[in-house]
Amino acid sequence: MNYTGFISCILTMVEVELRRLRHDPIEIFTRAIQPVLWVIVFGSVMAKVRAFPGVGDYVTFIAPGVIMQSATFIALAYGIMLVFEREAGLLKRLLTVPISRVAIVLGRSLAGGIRASTQYIIVLIAAIIVGAKINLNPLGLFIGWLTIIYVAMGFTGLSILIASTLKTRERFMGIIGAISMPLFFASNALYPVDIMPEFIKIIALGNPLTYTVNILRKILIHGDYDILVDLFALTVFNAISIMAAFKCFSKIIE
């Protein structure tokens, strides 16, 4: 398989996702409900009690965190689609088509990343309505969107890995349920890392969500583009999770 074939396979996997969304656009809105409620209800209540001094306006503070939480959850749930596709014969057939399996995994990860990013603008608008001060520089908004897709790709990879290993819906949903909330709470999405107990701090520093939320806060709130270190951390996470996903992917149909 040549280079153009490789790229075209990745793009075709993304195309499947986009066509799916086009047939069912309501999904974008239903997916935005939960994060919008987080910002509006949780954000405004917590802003009132001023629980975390030093974070400035609380709704502004958590908007990026909540966006990332919902993106991460959607990305982590992406694997359920592969479990369904495995139960049907789709994956069996996909793996007998003469295309690179690396391209399939990369393509599905990118597709999951894009799927996970679709509620971004809706949640931002909701946050602004309840008083969040977001920097509306178009370039910043765009880089923010790319960042979400990028890290959600890594989480989708993780999800593909889990789906390939566990194979059944029940086990898959069990694990995803178990890891997604702790991932959210052991990050800087809702409160700054400084106030955490020591051992949670360590977890938070190993948590890719922390770095993504860092990037989004810098860009969307402060207009600060000093994000290389955070990007590097995310790249390490993505490389590991997607490589591991590829290693296990062929096992999914066994």
Partner 1 sequence: MILEAIITNNVVKIYSGGVKALDGVSLTTEEGSSHALLGPNGAGKTTLIRIITTQIKPTSGSIKVLGFDVISQGSRVRELIGYVPQEMSLWTELSGFENMLIYSKLYGIPSAQRKDIIEELLEFMELRDTANRLVKTYSGGMIRRLEIAIALMRKPRVLILDEPTIGLDPRARSLVWSKLLSFKKEHDMTIFFATHYMDEAERYADKVTLLNRGKVIIEDSPVRLKEIVGGNSITIKLHNSRDRDYIVESLKNSEFKITILDEKSLSFSVNNISRDLPRIIEAIYKLGVIVEGVELGEKTLDDVFIALTGMRVEETPGRLREVLSTRRMIRRGG
- Residue 92, interface with partner 1 (CB under 8 A)? yes
- Of 3, 25, 26, 254, the residue at the interface with partner 1 (CB under 8 A) is 254
Contact 13, 115 (CB under 8 A): no
Q: Which two tokens stand for residue 113?
A: 């990343």
Q: CA–CA distance from 15 to each of 12, 107, 219 (Å)?
A: 5, 9, 29
CB 114 to partner 1: min, Å = 16
236 touching partner 1, by CB under 8 A = no
9 binds partner 1 (CB under 8 A): yes
Chosen residue from 29, 84, 142, 232 binding partner 1 by CB under 8 A: 84
The region of 6-14, 55-63, 69-77, 228-236 touching partner 1 under the rule CB under 8 A is 6-14
Contact pick of 7, 16, 146, 181 for partner 1 (by CB under 8 A): 16
Q: Judged by CB, which is closer to partner 1: 5, or 192?
A: 5
Kindly state the smallest distance separating residue 202's Cβ from partner 1, in Å: 37
- Site stretch for partner 1 (CB under 8 A), options 30-38, 41-49, 90-98, 222-230: 90-98
Binding partner 1 (rule: CB under 8 A), the pick from 15, 194, 224, 226 is 15
CA torsion sign, 130 to 135 to 137 to 138?
Answer: negative
Nearest-10 Cα torsion for 22, 117, 152, 51: -150
142 touches partner 1 by CB under 8 A: no
18 touches partner 1 (CB under 8 A): no
Which amino acid, residue 97?
V
24 touches partner 1 (CB under 8 A) = yes
Does the footprint of partner 1 cover residue 222 (CB under 8 A)? no
Q: How far is CA 209 from the centre of its chain?
A: 9
Using the rule CB under 8 A, which residue among 3, 23, 170, 198 binds partner 1?
23
Residue 187 dihedral angles phi and psi, to the nearest 5°? -140, 180
Contact by Cβ (8 Å): 148, 68: yes
Nearest-5° Cα angle at 181, 59 to 75? 90
Q: Where are the alpha helices (DSSP H) in 38-137?
A: 44-49, 58-77, 79-87, 90-94, 101-116, 120-129
Q: Cβ of residue 65: shortest distance to partner 1, in angstroms?
A: 31
87 binds partner 1 (CB under 8 A): yes
* 3-class secondary structure, 82: helix
Contact stretch for partner 1 (CB under 8 A) within 92-100, 132-140, 150-158, 171-179 = 92-100
Distance separating alpha carbons of residues 27 and 44, to the nearest angstrom: 26
Q: List interacting residues with partner 1 (CB under 8 A).
A: 1, 5, 8-9, 12, 15-16, 19-20, 23-24, 84-85, 87-90, 92-99, 253-254
